Amino acid sequence: MDQIKAHYDRYLLAAAGLLLAGVAVFAALNAAGLGEKFTPPEIPTTGEPFAADEKITLLRADHGGKEKQPTWQDAGHPLFISRIYLLREGRLVDILESGEELFPGIANAWILENNLDYTDPRLPDADADGDGFSNLEEFRAKTNPRDPASKPALWTKLRLTATKIDQLRVKFMSLPTGSVEEVSINTISEGNPSELSGSTRFYRQGDAIVLADRGADGKESEQPTPLKFERAELRKQFNPTTNVEEEVPVAFLRNTADGKEIELRKGEVKDSPYSLATLLDTRSGGTTYQVRSGETFKVGDADSYKLVDVTEEKAIIENLQTAEQHEVPFQGAASAAEVPSEPTIQ
């Protein structure tokens, strides 16, 4: 009895635990039959489908639109770019927004796009890619100053350094065979119109007229000219002296330099411009060309050209591939724009 009193609280807890275990076993045994004793209530319905919820529809549409939006692409550039200012004549100049060209004739944006040194006062004349063309020439031709394969046309580097402009005097002598298929034409001395400059020459259709010249030693030399014999014909002409209509031989020459036709009657003397030009390729180690009117020449590996005309100020050349004509200025012509004072970067 004393032992029970001493451990009364333990015995009480043990009895309570046994009672709870019995209740749990009873509940588990009777849970299976609850479904048979209790049936769920019936919910009244019309059988119509539920109306769509407008908010849910909007949410779904918004979610689909976001999935189709392009994702952020890294362009490899910083998100924030600082402005570039230069100190010029005591004031700050915004390169892009000021509208003031650092180097007259070259757009500031072009200088920045091609990563050129805009603090270099010699920038217009500098050759960034070493192709023989300055930055100014590359800008004018819209070529890449950083790529040697991208450069202006080679003819733009030509300069006229010397000219010799004479009058080529020709005289239609006769029809040696009596037929218009062949003519005899002579070149005339520039100093004496009645004196032949050399021996008589015979020409057929397509032959180039040569300039015959007799030196002090009596020997003759020949030089080709831009004139070619094209054709001859017999033209009826009234002779007031004999009062009779006669057939007069007429020869036609073509100046291959400018394409003009020269008409010569028998015994007639006419002049045609006869020019010799000296052209210099101003690139490093450039070549000198001595070209006569109508002659063709080639600049490097580029297109072929023909010398059309020459004056003391310029030469006119024609591209034989495109038929475009270009002016080659005299060596003393104005060069690149004046270089401005050196800017200071801020």
Residues 302-340 have pLDDT tens digits of 789 999 888 889 999 999 999 999 999 998 644 433 334
For residue 57, what are the contacts with CB-CB under 8 A and spacing of at least 6?
A: none
Report the greatest alpha carbon distance in the chain: 186
**21 within a domain of the structure (yes/no):** no
Amino acid at 129: D
Q: How far is CA 265 from the centre of its chain?
A: 50
**282 within a domain of the structure (yes/no):** yes
If asked whether residues 296 and 323 sit together in one domain, one would say: yes
- Domain final residue pick, 152, 175, 194: 152
If asked whether residues 170 and 267 sit together in one domain, one would say: yes
Distance from C-alpha of 187 to C-alpha of 217, rounded to nearest angstrom: 19
pLDDT confidence of residue 138: 93
Low-confidence winner among 170-184, 214-228, 238-252 (lowest mean pLDDT): 214-228
**2 within a domain of the structure (yes/no):** no
pLDDT confidence of residue 279: 93
Number of domains in the chain: 3
User: 249 pLDDT band (50/70/90 cuts)?
Assistant: very high
Per-residue pLDDT for 42 more than 80?
Answer: no
Three-state secondary-structure class, residue 229: strand
Per-residue pLDDT for 58 more than 80?
Answer: no
If asked whether residues 231 and 217 sit together in one domain, one would say: yes
**56 within a domain of the structure (yes/no):** no
User: 280 pLDDT band (50/70/90 cuts)?
Assistant: very high
Amino acid at 260: K
If asked whether residues 200 and 220 sit together in one domain, one would say: yes
If asked whether residues 318 and 250 sit together in one domain, one would say: no
Number of helices followed by number of strands (H, E) in the chain: 6, 16
pLDDT confidence of residue 239: 77
Higher pLDDT, 246 or 213: 246
User: 97 pLDDT band (50/70/90 cuts)?
Assistant: low
pLDDT confidence of residue 103: 84
Token pair for residue 289? 């060309």
Which residue in the block uniquely carries the two structure tokens 């059309």? 308
**95 within a domain of the structure (yes/no):** yes
If asked whether residues 212 and 256 sit together in one domain, one would say: yes
If asked whether residues 260 and 279 sit together in one domain, one would say: no
Low-confidence winner among 40-54, 139-153, 231-245, 255-269 (lowest mean pLDDT): 40-54
Nearest to 88 by CA among 306, 345, 332, 321: 345
**292 within a domain of the structure (yes/no):** yes
pLDDT confidence of residue 88: 64
* Paired sense of beta strands 201-204 and 208-214, if any: unpaired
Per-residue pLDDT for 169 more than 90?
Answer: no
For residue 76, what are the contacts with CB-CB under 8 A and spacing of at least 6?
A: none
**315 within a domain of the structure (yes/no):** yes
Task: Give residue 139's domain range.
Answer: 85-152
Distance from C-alpha of 90 to C-alpha of 8, rounded to nearest angstrom: 105
Distance from C-alpha of 60 to C-alpha of 119, rounded to nearest angstrom: 57
**342 within a domain of the structure (yes/no):** no
If asked whether residues 289 and 236 sit together in one domain, one would say: no
Distances (CA, A) of 264 to 128, 235, 250, 251, 269: 56, 12, 6, 5, 7
8 Å CB contact between 213 and 223? yes
